[in-house]
Chains A and B, each alone.
Chain A
Amino acid sequence: MEREGLDIPIFCQHCEEPICRDVCPVGALSKGSDGVVRIDTERCVGCWSCSISCPYGAISFYDGRFRVCDLCDGDPKCARWCPTGAIQFVEASLADIPRRRVAAESLAKPKIEARAGTMTELKK
């Protein structure tokens, strides 16, 4: 989004079926019962499989070890310090509501436009 001057943060989505966990040959990545994907750095052998295969590019090698968003143990700093409140930390079920609204709007849009079109034609 560089060309458009837009900033879009992309971070770990803590996938339902994380591919990073499946490709890790040493079982260093796990998804806990709380749904958070974590790395056991002691087990990690640095094969890069997770980092290379993550669809979001969310696993990075930094300061000598691989890192993935751990949601700061339930208090993500990115959300806490985001000056515009663009990043929020909310329950997945709540976060889905605006997304569903966007989907519904985009589905309804052609119908609304068509209706508006007939209205203007009628006015003529």
Chain B
Amino acid sequence: MRLIVVGSGAAGDAAAFEARRTDPSLSVFLFSEEGLPLYSPCLLPQYVGSSLSRDKIFLRTLDDYRQAGIEFVHDRVTGIRHQDRKILTESGDVRFDRAILALGSRPRSLPIEGRDRTGFFCLKSVKDGEAILRHLATRVAVIGSGNIGIEAALALRTHGCEVTLFEAEATVNPLFFPPLFSHLIQETLESEGVEVITGARITEILGEVRVKGLIDRGISHSFDVIINCTGMIPNSEIAMQAGLAIGSKGGILIDPYMRTSDPSIYACGDCVELHDDEDGQESILGALWPNAILQGRAAGSNAAGRPKKQDDLWNLRILRIKDKFAVSLGRNEKDLALAEDVDVIDTQPFAGVLMRSCLRQGRLIAARLWGKACRLGPFISCIRRKWEVKTIYSLLRNRRALLRHPSLGQLHFFFQEQSHPG
């Protein structure tokens, strides 16, 4: 049987290796557009800043694929004809029995005039980073106050730029944090010298060839460089053209076994959208490295014939602003804000830490933290196992259980008797 994996990022790589491990008789082809073995994009800034040697950014060598019996193909996939089970590539068609799509994501482009001017950037690849450094100017606008936007703004401040951060919604980082936390984040950003403008409606980029500024709600601001950090969108076009089901957020729709609407095609990583069975209506994108690894492994295992369910997302977002941490765990704030059956409890588990836990029917589904970095391991386990708060309390009262699993004791921090009634 022939398995074709499209995309050699974290998800595709994990899928190919897991499939070979599950069924050594499977012939696995891994298609890579770049032709490079798996590398970590998070290490690219260090590599560009030449504090890290080139071989350190790679997590695999071409030899690893050979040893695992995976055929590594340097070719661009242009489409799928799933009726006749063929993958179309630049150098010809390839037949497949099973396929795994790990197509990744790309920066969202803004629907406004002037995106092609010099000085207007996105932030995803090494090229983008290098271009921004070459164009480094005094007045910089960052559009979008997600994690990447905030980190870019802070990094530019250390280069001595005047930075203005634009956010379309009323509070910063609204996808992950409720207003209470957003205000704390905004205050800290402002104390770091970043100007924050919320509720922005950017309609135009000014300038003829080079960026000169932008217009927000009719008022023009002048800038030398504009960086677009409005988020990532899944690369689902190939799947869409092939007629596979696409979710409401633009990702390839999959079930907990990583299957797309065609049972012989699987998908994993940044390009997918997972239907959440907890509330039945929302579907989520989980574009994060750990999700790519976990989903990739599940897709590889399922494609090789051993069923493996992967229905939860590792949704842990850590934002660091100087010495403060903002951590979002579990379901996104934006999804929860609309839900009516969610109970919210604000506590101060220990000095200098503000915490909000979100419960649905007595089960922990999300938490937000502000302040010091604290160890959330046991807390994450509670959310993933969908434990009821009642169960956690009875565990904490059970001395024998605690002696046998001492790490549970750390939950004491978060579950003081007075903070969570019941």
Interface residues of A, Cβ cutoff 8 Å to B: 1, 4, 8, 10, 22-27, 42-43, 45, 47-49, 51-57, 61, 102, 106
Contacts and interface: CB of A to CB of B under 8 A. Distances in A.
Contact of A55 (B45, B374, B377): B377
B289 A48 contact: no
B56 interface: yes
B373 A48 contact: yes
Given A25-B40, A42-B52, A48-B318, A8 B375 contact: no
A26 B376 contact: no
Given A43-B40, A47-B318, A57-B407, 8 more contacts: A49-B318, A52-B327, A52-B375, A53-B316, A54-B377, A55-B380, A57-B377, A57-B410
A56 B407 CA distance: 5
The 6 closest A-B pairs by CB, nearest first: A57-B375, A25-B289, A55-B377, A27-B59, A23-B290, A8-B406
Contacts, number: 76
B110 to A, nearest CB: 26
29 contacts: A1-B402, A8-B403, A8-B409, A10-B407, A22-B293, A23-B289, A23-B314, A25-B42, A26-B43, A42-B52, A43-B43, A43-B52, A45-B43, A45-B46, A47-B42, A48-B318, A49-B290, A49-B316, A51-B373, A51-B375, A52-B327, A52-B376, A53-B376, A53-B380, A55-B377, A55-B381, A57-B375, A57-B377, A57-B378
A37 to B, nearest CB: 14
Interface in B381-419: 381, 399-400, 402-404, 406-407, 409-410
B318 A52 contact: yes
A8 B408 CA distance: 12
A42 to B, nearest CB: 6
Nearest to B374: A52
B30 interface: no
A8 B52 CA distance: 39
Size bracket, chain B contacts? 35 or more
Contacts of B76: none
A55 B407 contact: yes
Contacts of B314: 23
Nearest to B329: A52
Contacts of A27: 40, 59
Contacts of B45: 45
B409 A53 contact: no
A55 B378 contact: yes
Contact of B377 (A25, A47, A52, A106): A52
B384 to A, nearest CB: 10
A47 B316 CA distance: 11
A10 B40 CA distance: 31
Contacts of A45: 42-43, 45-46
Contacts of A48: 318, 320, 325, 373
A11 B409 CA distance: 13
Nearest to A60: B375
A43 B46 CA distance: 9
Chain A CB within 10 A, most for which of B52, B378, B381, B407: B407
B320 A53 contact: no
Given A43-B43, A52-B316, A53-B316, A22 B377 contact: no
Interface string B303-332: 000000000001010101000010100000
Given A8-B406, A10-B407, A43-B56, A23 B316 contact: yes
B294 interface: yes
A30 to B, nearest CB: 10
Contacts of B56: 42-43
Nearest to A3: B412
A88 to B, nearest CB: 16
B319 to A, nearest CB: 10
Nearest to B404: A102
A27 B292 CA distance: 13
A66 to B, nearest CB: 11
Contacts of A1: 402, 406, 409
Nearest to A40: B56
Contacts of A10: 406-407
A56 B381 CA distance: 11
Contacts of B325: 48
A94 B318 CA distance: 40
Given A48-B318, A51-B373, A26 B381 contact: no
